[in-house]
Chain A
């Protein structure tokens, strides 16, 4: 067990180090001069020189990397070059937003995708199957940006049932929080629902044709029990793996949806920072999401190790 943990942890740390090198190198590749981008309209040469000196931009790249790594190891991500706000505060303020959006989107995705996939498999080549396929294909084909604008125009501008966007913290107004999350999570979830529906359908078709289902039916079990307890339970294994992957991706932000619904999440944070060359924010935010991703993977490996006796040798 210890050897397994040490090995996994070692791999995780090496991955993290590779991520820091990659993020740092990619930012160096960005065209444009950070000091110039931050100098403002008047471009005062003295102010530009100060920015270069303060952020070690006048030093070799390796020295810049070591400065940044040194700070990062001490848990200091510095302050945003654009706003002077502490980067760790900015990251912390995005966690509840992104987490909530991801959870709500997954609720939509699983709530729509799994039942639609099951129905589609049960009524193969009949109208419920065709309908589910058509809806699923639409979910995959409609761009989030367009669907988001459409929903805003209908439900916020015309009907005025829901707010057009923004984020209200749960602690401030739970009702408004739910209302503001409804549309963006649906937009994000609908795309994932389509993928989940397709996977559920094919897994269910496989399961329904399997020997153990035939045996269950031969034993005289009720059809509902056969479908839910025997076929679906087994068919869900790959779907859960897929769901976990999609969830992990949602946690690193959903740029377009956040932009349309004006949700201050991770995606918006990173993209805005790239455009303004606020490299302190980009590096901090990417390192944070990468750490989370690797930590989640480590936990998943650990769980797999605990539930799978074959791995324990």
Chain B
């Protein structure tokens, strides 16, 4: 009775044609993707969610793109170069590129877009490119971004939402509010319709500069928050691909011959953020004495946590990026040492059991991680009480400093600046524990001023060594991006950023 199993009139009429059909397998035209959440506004300059970035991969091309090997490649730009003083980035644009409304994607369009992000009140990209002072149009295919101060992470920003170009004509005509309901970009698929909480439909854009590598006619994104229901839809053939598969569903996918699993470790991290100096709640030995935080870390067995809660699927770690990242600092992960942890608490003059309130999300994973940590820490002289808090509330509590320790994560960015500067620098917008170390600030600022990757890495290595000693945050593990898809889907390449790229994907017909 389902659509995919019902013989249609068209299929019956097509039967006589089978005799003349080519031998290549038939292809389905539509890819249906199950998302874990409903995306927010579909304007790349206003959007703020991770799941929205998945949809933008099909809808909006960027100036630059990251390949699966984390190397930058051109997308709307074919080349770029920095001035000697690192204060100007000159980009050469791809010729003959048009937006979905037929408008030309040229240097004027890039200038409009950068200025839109910098001046539109609704913009969520302003802080990402705030170092851009002005944009100069050199010729129709050459544009120069002049900076106030050197800012190496700019390229990484232009490889994300800040690099996504929208049609200036549509943006002007629709205004900030209406544009997000009918976005016009220059990606391989154009927007067709959106029914809130139900689906977002994109259709192949035949004038796309790289159309030969996109084989699908339609892409339908369906938000299905419940992971079990999402998987059931994949098993039943109502979806061809789902993101964020639950680790405990991996055996089910592996057993099913009709399904395939794809996994890659993401850039993000999950860890415990401590309140170091945010309001009076930080005034405890946990917030003030690094020895207590070291004892906290030594009480934790990361591998056991990963095994018990996530069936060993994720990658344990001790810093904000996993091994394999260009900015990974090779430092050993502290092993569990309960005796040393208790000794450190004694040295710090802390009575045992030492009470700690750990805030965790109300999700199943959040609860389970909290319970395992509670048990491990209990054996090392801590008395952990769990405060399960709904996420929007937890975020508010964290910002206000109403927490001692919070199990929280970050989806991560390719460039380490997009993680470390935000959550560890004294002025970082996500530094809710209010950790502050002038030397760390200096190193993180210095890493922004040079485009030499090796030199940047030495700055980050030095900063990481201090951070790992002072422990404003204990990094625990890096989530693996788990994607399950139908065996009929071929050509899907997972990327560490967790975003679903559509080039090369084919769907064989039933």
Interface residues of A (CB under 8 A from B): 31-33, 36-47, 50, 54, 79-80, 82-86, 90, 93, 149, 152-153, 156-157, 160-168, 173, 175-176, 179, 259-262, 264, 268-269, 272, 275-277
Q: How many contacts between A and B, using CB within 8 angstroms?
A: 162
Q: Which residues of B contact A36 (CB under 8 A)?
A: 392, 395-396, 399
Q: Is the interface of A mostly helix, strand, loop or mixed?
A: loop
Whether A84 and B48, one on each chain, are in contact in the complex, defined by CB atoms closer than 8 angstroms, is no
Distance between Cα atoms of A138 and B235 in the complex (Å) = 28
Q: Which residues of B contact A40 (CB under 8 A)?
A: 47-49, 124
Q: Would you call B123 an interface residue if the criterion is a C-beta within 8 Å of the partner chain's C-beta atoms?
A: yes
Whether A272 and B38, one on each chain, are in contact in the complex, defined by CB atoms closer than 8 angstroms, is yes
Q: Which residues of A contact B224 (CB under 8 A)?
A: 165, 262
Bitwise interface map of B from 224 to 254 toward A, beta carbon under 8 Å scored 1, else 0:
1110110011011110000000000000000
Whether B128 and A42, one on each chain, are in contact in the complex, defined by CB atoms closer than 8 angstroms, is yes
- A173-B3 CB under 8 A given contacts A39-B48, A164-B238, A269-B196: yes
List the 8 closest A-B pairs by CB distance, nearest first. Answer: A40-B48, A84-B180, A264-B198, A156-B236, A32-B392, A32-B396, A31-B393, A84-B41
Whether B228 and A161, one on each chain, are in contact in the complex, defined by CB atoms closer than 8 angstroms, is no
Q: Which residues of B contact A43 (CB under 8 A)?
A: 399, 429-430
Q: Would you call B121 an interface residue if the criterion is a C-beta within 8 Å of the partner chain's C-beta atoms?
A: yes
Whether B232 and A156, one on each chain, are in contact in the complex, defined by CB atoms closer than 8 angstroms, is yes
Q: Which residues of A contact B106 (CB under 8 A)?
A: none
Q: Would you call B485 an interface residue if the criterion is a C-beta within 8 Å of the partner chain's C-beta atoms?
A: no
Whether A44 and B238, one on each chain, are in contact in the complex, defined by CB atoms closer than 8 angstroms, is no
Distance between Cα atoms of A167 and B39 in the complex (Å) = 18
Give the nearest-CB partner of A180 in chain B.
Answer: B2
Whether A275 and B390, one on each chain, are in contact in the complex, defined by CB atoms closer than 8 angstroms, is yes
Give the nearest-CB partner of B127 in chain A.
Answer: A44
Q: Which residues of A contact B392 (CB under 8 A)?
A: 31-32, 36-37, 275-277
Q: Which residues of A contact B3 (CB under 8 A)?
A: 163, 168, 173, 176
Cβ distance A148 to chain B, nearest Cβ, rounded Å: 9
Cβ contacts A to B, 7 pairs, < 8 Å: A32-B390, A37-B396, A40-B49, A41-B49, A47-B126, A149-B229, A261-B229
Q: Which residues of B contact A162 (CB under 8 A)?
A: 1-2
Which B residues from 34 to 48 make CB contacts under 8 A with A? 38-43, 46-48
Q: Would you call B112 an interface residue if the criterion is a C-beta within 8 Å of the partner chain's C-beta atoms?
A: no
Contact partner, A272, options B2, B123, B177, B197, Cβ 8 Å: B197
Q: Would you call B422 an interface residue if the criterion is a C-beta within 8 Å of the partner chain's C-beta atoms?
A: yes
Q: Which residues of B contact A153 (CB under 8 A)?
A: 232
Whether A157 and B236, one on each chain, are in contact in the complex, defined by CB atoms closer than 8 angstroms, is yes
Q: Would you call B146 an interface residue if the criterion is a C-beta within 8 Å of the partner chain's C-beta atoms?
A: no
- A37-B40 CB under 8 A given contacts A153-B232, A264-B198: no
Whether B196 and A42, one on each chain, are in contact in the complex, defined by CB atoms closer than 8 angstroms, is no
Whether A83 and B180, one on each chain, are in contact in the complex, defined by CB atoms closer than 8 angstroms, is yes
Q: Would you call B50 an interface residue if the criterion is a C-beta within 8 Å of the partner chain's C-beta atoms?
A: yes
Distance between Cα atoms of A173 and B4 in the complex (Å) = 13
Give the nearest-CB partner of B410 in chain A.
Answer: A41
Cβ distance B401 to chain A, nearest Cβ, rounded Å: 13
Distance between Cα atoms of A83 and B226 in the complex (Å) = 20
- A175-B198 CB under 8 A given contacts A44-B127, A164-B236: no
Bitwise interface map of B from 173 to 206 toward A, beta carbon under 8 Å scored 1, else 0:
0000110110000000000001111100000000
Most buried by B among A47, A84, A152, A173: A84
Q: Would you call B6 an interface residue if the criterion is a C-beta within 8 Å of the partner chain's C-beta atoms?
A: yes
Give the nearest-CB partner of A168 in chain B.
Answer: B3
Contact partner, B195, options A47, A80, A175, A264, Cβ 8 Å: A264
Whether A164 and B229, one on each chain, are in contact in the complex, defined by CB atoms closer than 8 angstroms, is yes
Cβ distance A194 to chain B, nearest Cβ, rounded Å: 25
Give the nearest-CB partner of A78 in chain B.
Answer: B177
Whether A165 and B229, one on each chain, are in contact in the complex, defined by CB atoms closer than 8 angstroms, is yes
Q: Which residues of B contact A156 (CB under 8 A)?
A: 2, 232, 235-236, 238
Q: Which residues of A contact B122 (CB under 8 A)?
A: 47, 50
Whether B390 and A152, one on each chain, are in contact in the complex, defined by CB atoms closer than 8 angstroms, is no
Cβ distance A303 to chain B, nearest Cβ, rounded Å: 35
Beyond the given pairs A44-B127, A153-B232, 4 more chain A to chain B contacts, judged by CB atoms under 8 angstroms and listed by A's residue number, are: A47-B127, A82-B40, A173-B3, A259-B225
Q: Would you call B255 an interface residue if the criterion is a C-beta within 8 Å of the partner chain's C-beta atoms?
A: no
Q: Which residues of A contact B391 (CB under 8 A)?
A: 275
Whether B1 and A161, one on each chain, are in contact in the complex, defined by CB atoms closer than 8 angstroms, is yes
Whether B196 and A157, one on each chain, are in contact in the complex, defined by CB atoms closer than 8 angstroms, is no
Contact partner, A152, options B198, B236, B396, Cβ 8 Å: B236
Give the nearest-CB partner of A163 in chain B.
Answer: B2
Cβ distance B471 to chain A, nearest Cβ, rounded Å: 23
Q: Which residues of A contact B194 (CB under 8 A)?
A: 83, 85
Give the nearest-CB partner of B46 in chain A.
Answer: A84
Q: Which residues of B contact A83 (CB under 8 A)?
A: 38-42, 180-181, 194, 196
Cβ distance B29 to chain A, nearest Cβ, rounded Å: 17
Whether B196 and A160, one on each chain, are in contact in the complex, defined by CB atoms closer than 8 angstroms, is no
Whether A84 and B43, one on each chain, are in contact in the complex, defined by CB atoms closer than 8 angstroms, is yes
Cβ distance B256 to chain A, nearest Cβ, rounded Å: 10
Distance between Cα atoms of A196 and B24 in the complex (Å) = 57
- A259-B197 CB under 8 A given contacts A31-B393, A47-B126, A84-B181: no
Q: Would you call B411 an interface residue if the criterion is a C-beta within 8 Å of the partner chain's C-beta atoms?
A: yes
Whether A82 and B1, one on each chain, are in contact in the complex, defined by CB atoms closer than 8 angstroms, is no
Q: Which residues of B contact A38 (CB under 8 A)?
A: 48
- A149-B228 CB under 8 A given contacts A32-B393, A45-B429, A163-B2: yes
Q: Which residues of A contact B411 (CB under 8 A)?
A: 41
